[in-house]
Amino acid sequence: MLFGAFCDMKMLIYTNSIWVFTLLAVEAVKTYRSNPHFMLGDLKIPTWITPLVLVLFVSVLIPNTSFLGHVCGLLFGYGCK
């Protein structure tokens, strides 16, 4: 009962989404080191940019999401080695 008073289920979902974007950024950097681009037709797209595109899609498609929180998660993930 005490846990429910201090922790709301929505808050858990919000904080977990930041970790998801952190892990996506870490994996994008690892992929960039081994395979720097993927081809879409004749267009070369850097693999490290895909989490940024995903943040934009999530912020447009899902209302009331924390764009700043997701970007901070990405920055933290990009900074990890």
Given the residues 34, 59, 66, 70, select the one marked as catalytic: 70
Q: Quick one: how far is CA 29 from the chain centroid? A: 12
| Overall residue count recorded for the chain in this entry | 81
Give residue for tokens 């990009």: 78
From residue 42, alpha-carbon distances to 21, 29, 33, 50, 52 in Å are 28, 23, 21, 17, 21
Instruction: Take residue 7 and report the two structure tokens written for it.
Output: 């922790």
Look up 17 and say whether it is catalytic: yes
Give the active site residues. Answer: 17, 70
